[in-house]
């Protein structure tokens, strides 16, 4: 039989192993980009300063200025092509294939 000390050592090792597994899984999830469901792109000027950003999710791309304010969006469908909107949601243009 095992002594009480040996049982405690095994329990301690199992607890540490479980903690390491939980940490490994958590780190794996944290390493997934925050834009997992979105595709993001940042735009820079010649000096390296951020001038804007675009984030695409599903069929819509939203455009932001350097302050993070929405400047417009574009929505693409197979039937209508791409429709462009300003920050007020008004249609500003269309493109088709």
Q: Work out the angle at residue 41's Cα, subtended by the Cα atoms of residues 38 and 46, and round it to the nearest 5 degrees.
A: 170
- Provide the phi-psi class of 68: left if phi over 0, else alpha when psi is between -120 and 50, else beta: left
Q: Could you tell me if 55 and 72 lie in one domain?
A: yes
What is the residue range of 53's domain? 39-95
Q: Do residues 88 and 57 share a domain?
A: yes
Among 32, 1, 92, 13, which residue's Cα sits nearest to residue 83? 92
- pTM over 0.75? The answer is no
- Residue 95 pLDDT: 92
Bridge-partner residues for 43, per DSSP?
52
Q: Are residues 51 and 23 in the same domain?
A: no
- At 81-92, the pLDDT tens digits run 999 999 999 999
What does the pLDDT look like over 31-49, one tens digit per residue? 555 545 569 999 999 999 9
**pLDDT of the residue at 74:** 95
Instruction: Calculate the average pLDDT of the chain.
Output: 85
Give yes or no: residues 50 and 81 share one domain. Answer: yes
């Amino acid at each position: 039989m095992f002594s009480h000390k040996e049982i405690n050592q095994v329990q301690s090792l199992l607890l540490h192993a479980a903690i390491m597994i939980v940490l490994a899984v958590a780190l794996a999830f944290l390493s997934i980009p925050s834009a997992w469901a979105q595709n993001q792109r940042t735009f820079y000027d010649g000096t390296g300063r951020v001038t804007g950003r675009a984030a695409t999710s599903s069929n819509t791309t939203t455009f932001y200025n350097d302050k993070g304010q929405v400047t417009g969006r574009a929505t693409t469908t197979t039937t209508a092509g791409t429709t462009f909107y300003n920050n007020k949601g008004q249609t500003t243009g269309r493109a088709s294939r």
